[in-house]
Amino acid sequence: MAKYLNLAGIISGSFGIFIGFWFLGSDSDNLLSAQYTVLLTVGIPGVLAFIRHVIFHKSDAERLGWQTDRPDWMFEVGFANLAFGVMAFLSLLVQNGTAAHVVCIAGYAVYLLQAAILHGYRYFTDKEKKPARLWRSTILTSLFAGMMFLLAALIFFTRRH
């Protein structure tokens, strides 16, 4: 189940990046770009990651290659994801909350970049080199976080006052 929740989060986040750049480059309201982006790149993936790390922690640990008898750290990661997800949904309630959206997007990007660095460290220091950890968990997550940073900056600097 964790594999499918992860895939759903990747699809939502990817679609959010696409939609964010699409609306940012159009004549539409910049707030719309920020709203779609924060919902699809932070809100939905954050909640799905919480469900994956907390409710389906055993299959997620197996998927990551980090099986443990004490999944407390996975719960903590899940709670952090949920905090970002809830923050993203709450930012949608703020009238003209472009700055709140940008903070959510940039904050989650920092969080994901740190996770990518950890996965990269684990890839290079573990005896068993799993290509999925290198490509999906390190490289693609780093690229995704980088695109989130770029989009957050572009939304911030091009927002209409």
pLDDT of 5 over the 90 cut:
yes
Q: What is the spatial distance between Cα 45 and Cα 8, in angstroms, rounded to a whole number?
A: 8
For 68-124, what is each residue's pLDDT tens digit?
788 898 899 999 999 999 999 999 998 878 889 999 999 999 999 999 999 999 899
Tell me the average pLDDT of the chain.
90
Q: Which pLDDT belongs to residue 161?
A: 47
pLDDT confidence band for 26 (50 / 70 / 90): low
Residue 29, pLDDT above cutoff 50: yes
Distance (Å) of CA 83 to CA 56, 62, 72, 88, 96? 18, 24, 16, 9, 21
Question: Residue 127 is part of which domain span?
Answer: 2-158
Q: How many CB atoms lie within 10 A of CB 62?
A: 13
Q: How many domains does the chain have?
A: 1
The rounded percent of the chain whose pLDDT value lies above 70 is: 95
Which pTM value belongs to this model?
Answer: 0.89
